[in-house]
Every structure is written in structure tokens, then in C-alpha cells.
Chain A
Amino acid sequence: MPQYETVIGLEVHIELKTRSKIFCNSTTEFGGEPNTHVCPVCLGLPGVLPVVNKKVVEYAIRAALALNCEIAEFSKFDRKNYYYPDMPKNYQISQYDLPIAQHGCLEIDTENGPRKIGITRLHMEEDTGKLVHQGTITTTPFSLVDYNRAGVPLIEIVSEPDLRSPEEARQYIEKMRAIILYTGVSDCKMEEGSLRCDANISVRPMGMEGLGTKTEIKNLNSFKSLLKSLSYEVERQIETLEEGGRIIQETRTWDEAKGVTLSMRSKEQAHDYRYLPDPDLVPMEIDRNWVDDIRRSLPELPDERKERYVEEYGLPAYDAAILTNTKELADYFEVCVKAWPNPKAVSNWIMGDLTRLLNSSGQEITGCKIAPENLASLLRLIDKGTISGKIAKNVFEEMFTSGRDAESIVKEKGLLQISDESAIIAIVDEVLAKNPGPVDDFKAGKERALGFLVGQVMKASKGKANPEMVNKLLREKL
């Protein structure tokens, strides 16, 4: 059986976080009773005139610059015609031959090191309404339409067919999401549909130059379904070819419940969108000064920030990548390091205990009750030997639930580490007297017995004894 290579290109739709829709002043607020966030423009009533929301163009440029795209000098909107009731006009306003941006790229980390993935284009368009089916899609005789989302601004970002595995596709989306979140133009919530993804996928015998016949998979609304559906489709295509079959160019949908991709055979397959320039919207000449202003207002992006963390803080690349994955986590880290300049210790606590507690309680870093300055003071207490590392974990959990600062918790609960030699000696003597067996073992050369004795002393001190001193004093006594 020949080796096959997978070729994937992704189309990502991202909802922009503007207040009003792209061509009218209806709200973009999520939810809302059906058909209440609408006006004559987004309902496509006769005689209305759409006007472009300037913020949408600004956000599109902002995202495009963060993705290393070239911004067009001249751009326009076109009508994409199709007969489907998710749009009341029977066309969607999108961009065809003169998109706002082209020729970008982003970098992903693969097994074989970092790789640049090309971005073909980025364009603006309006979102569609939602179709609601009563009962199951096959039994209901009609569909219900809610136009609240119709006209919400989107950018569509089309990649080159540069991705070579489902895992690389996942990496690409995660990186894209991280970058866009940094720019602040979208909240990129896959589960709420503000980041959606379609995939073009084909396989070809290893070494072949051209591309195999591709299929398009729609309806990918989580990282998990992206990975699973692409893996399924790779296998399906290879199996089909191995059995002497051929791949049909078609759109397939991911069935999450069955774990398979299914063909969407319908007349809609006859893609013939008959794009034409929208005569209601006038062209845009993008002012270079405007583009420069937007470029200057971009924050430090994940890749640069990651590099800086390795150089400036001496962190391992792994830590740096995780900390800089979201702007909020990186900001938290930096405030903390400012107050307690021990980057690796701060990184360990953030990536370890803090992340664990955030995940288990389903919280975001922005809602975290532990202020970064408070985490810094906890670390200072550990470093000064005021509390033991073990006690610190309990204090940390208390801080996480109550939001109180470390010092007051330590004081109130009497958790100060015992570093007074005479106090520790008293406990050590008691433990030695109670455990003649392990004492003899240790004297007979069994090092492990010491660990047991240390544990007993720590237990007797309720975890408050300074472990280093316990170790030292035990050795001296023995």
C-alpha cells in the first residue's frame, strides 16, 4: 500500500465584536427573542440602503495585519447569490475579487519544528440567519427562520492547502484563535459560533505534485470535531482509493453522534453564486495612514511575546508558549513577576495549581479571585520560609475560593512554618522514641527509613515544620 499524504486547507469564519451589524444599526447582541434584533436593512426589505460599519473595516484590517496580510488599496463588496432562506435577500453580501486583505501567514509548531502556513485571503461578509427545525430535519415539513444573526459582521480567512495532518489543522486554528483574541476583534468562542471552520481535504500518494480530489467538510464547531472529522475523512478517502474507487468532489457534513462525515447531495451542490458588485455599496480606498495607525495600535502578539519570555525571563519555550497563549494569562504572569521577580517559580504556580483550579472550577483567568500581586506575596512567604511549600498549596486554595490575601490566611489559621530549632528538636525526639524499628533500619543503612521519619515529624507538626531543618536535625540525632 502506497504512503499517502494529507492536504488540508481551512476556511475560518470569525464574528467581529462590533456593537452594530455590518450594514445597518441593528444590535449584534447574542441571544434575544427571535426576530427582534432586526430592521428593514437586515430583513432585506425593498428600497433600503446598506451602509458599511467603519468599525468592521477597522477590525478586519486589524486582524489581517496580525496575520501578516497585505491590506488592499482598493476593495469592494459583492453579492453572492444563492437560494436559501437563511438570508432574506437571496444573496449574501461578501467580497469576491477584491478582498480587504491577501497573502498572509501564521506559524505553527510541528513535530519537525516551526512551519509557516500561508493565508490566501481575508474578506468581510455578513452572517446569515438561523434555521430552526421542529422535530427532526427529515420529518418536519417546514423550517423556521430567525434573522437576529443576519448581518452580524464576519471575517472569513482562507488558508493555502499547506496543512499536512488533522493535528496541524488543529494547531492552525488554535494559533489563529490566540492571535485574533490578542487583537481583541472577536471573542472566538467556538461553542457560541463566533469562530467556525470549514475544511477542504484531500489525500495524494506521497511524492505526487498535484492535488487529489478534495471534499469540503462543514459544520465543525469544536476543536474535537475538527480533529475527529478530519481523521475520519483521511481514512475514508484512503480506503476509497485503495479499493479502486475515486473521490467525488462534494460537500460533506460531520455527524458528531455517529462519528462520520456524510455526503450532502442536493441541488445546492451546483455552486454557481453569480457574484456581482453590490451597487448599493460604494468601493473603499483604504487610506495608508489609517492602516499605519491600526498597525501601531496592535499589542505584542503571541509569537513575539513567547520569544521575549524565553529571552527576558529565561523560561523554557514550553512554559513561554503556554503563558502567552492568551493575552490575559500573559498579563497576569507579568504583573506577578513584577511583584516577585522569580519567573520560573511564578510560571510553575500559574501552569500548575492555578491552571488546575481554574479548569476544575470552569473559570477564566480574568475572573480569578487571586490578584497576581497576592500570588507574588504567597511566593515571597514560601521563599522567606514563613510557610512550607505544602502549607502554601492549602493557603493557595483558600485564596482561590475566598480571594483573601496570603498573609491574613496564614496568620488567622496559625500556619506559620516552624523554623525554631528547639521546637523541631522536641518533635524529632518524640518521633524517634515512638519509632525504634525505623531508627534501627536507618542505622543498618536503609536510607529509605529516613523518609518515613521525616514524614512522621511533618505529620506531628501538622505540616508546619521546616522540612530542610527536619532533615538536618534527624540526621544529626541519628
Chain B
Amino acid sequence: MPSRPEFLAPPEFFYNEQEARKYTTSSRIIDIQAKLTERALELLALPDDGVPRLLLDIGCGSGLSGESLSESGNQWIGLDISQSMLDIALEREVDGDLLLADMGQGLGLRPGVFDGAISISAVQWLCNADKASNEPRLRLKAFFVSLYRCLARGARAVLQLYHENEAQLELITTSAMRAGFAGGVVVDYPHSTRAKKTFLVLTCGPPSISTSIPKAKGEDGESCSDESSDEENQTVGFSDRHRPRKKQKIHKKGKGRDWVLKKKEQMRKKGYAVPRDTKYTGRKRKARF
């Protein structure tokens, strides 16, 4: 197993020009990040009214996660600590605005303005004491306190992360709860080493019906080898304290299939690897719990 990138160098050095390009031209990575973002959007459970929302993408990198946010018809602002990753996002002409910023320093954003936040494969970086000045606890605190503040009351943050071990997840979760968040951890496909994915689903504000933890996928050991079909069957309760929520459907206007196909063609012309076009491309996505 390759060693964790988090062990190799601080993120702003690990994601250098070469790594940023390698990352963003791998069609495997592109596919995975798109799927993770779509799942995060489901868990975000934005109101089903077709109104575009303002979202924050934390550790937005080269904009792979952001592209899925744009496809869902929402506006976004992304931040990342790596200039090289952001340079690629600029090349890719992502629709969101970009900030060069370190989430561990706290987010310099006004209170109550974001309708939701996502972070895909980034938050585990906060646990690294990769510089003498980095104290994970303080950085986690700065991050969660400032994240809580910039979200609208009742809004959610969905953070997909690759924690090193259970203690690390506990550290992260505790820090989020101390900052005032309610919510918990959703693990999709917990029995598969490869497909297992951990999402921290956080709600801002007093506990309410929406604070109940959504259901995980594939908890009964079902595989996700064919994720694009038969998805309904893989939803199994994470916590039996809550009755399953009614199935919700997202009827976002979205950008539509034509827009997606056009955008993908543009990217191909520029020499980027993009997922192949399938019948699922630009399809409406169901919200599942």
C-alpha cells in the first residue's frame, strides 16, 4: 500500500505543479472525486426548490469537486492551500471563485452567509503536525469554529475524509462538536477496504429534525463495484435511533446534459482526461439516504 500523502510533505508542498497535474489528469481520480462530490451533495440535502445556493468547497484543489457543484446548478467559492492546484483550477476555467487560504488558520469569511459547505478528501490534512508551528488541535478548532460561523443557521457541512485511524476521526469529530455542530459520521461501504468512504455530516445550529444522521450506503456488505446502477439497494441504516427519512428527490435545474457535454469536450480539447460520456452524464441525480 502506498504511504499516505499526508506523511510525505505539507500539502502546499506535496501538491506541487507536477503532483497537481498528475492528480487532475488521472481519469480514475476524476471519476472518484466526482462520485464523492455527488454523494456529498446528497448528504447536504439542500432544499428541493431549484434555487441555486452559495456553497463553500474546502480544499477545492484543481476544481474536480467544484465541477460537480457547478453541474448541480449551484454557485461556489473554493479555497485551497496549494497554489499549484489552484493554477490548474484556473486553467480548467472552473465556475467558482478561488481563494488561496489555509483552513487551519480559520476561514476569513463573514458570518451566516453560506448555504452549505463540502470538503472532499482534504480535512485529514489538518491532523498533520508537519511544521513546528502546526498544532492539529488548534488548527482543527480554528477551522470548525470559523466554519460554523460562516454557515447559515440550519445549513450543513459534509466533509469526506481519509482519516489515518479511529483516534484521528474521534479528534476531528470532537472538535466539530465543540464548535457547536450537531451530526455524525456516515460510512458508505464499511466492509470494503477500497470502496469504504467516510463522511462527517454536520449541521449548524440547534438540533432539529434535520440533525438526524443520514443513512450510509452498503453497510450490509453489498459491494459498490457497479455504483452507477442498483444504488437503491445499498442504503442501509447507520443509526437505528432515527427512522429512515422519506426518499427525497433533487429537482435541480442543473446545467443540463448539453452543458456538461460541451464543457467536457472543451476540456478534452485542452488535453485533459475527463470521464467518458455515458447515459448518466448530466443526468438528474437522486438524493438518497
Verify that A and B bind, or say they do not.
no
Using CB atoms and an 8 Å cutoff, list the residues of chain B in contact with chain A: none
Task: Report which A residues bind B (CB closer than 8 A).
Answer: none
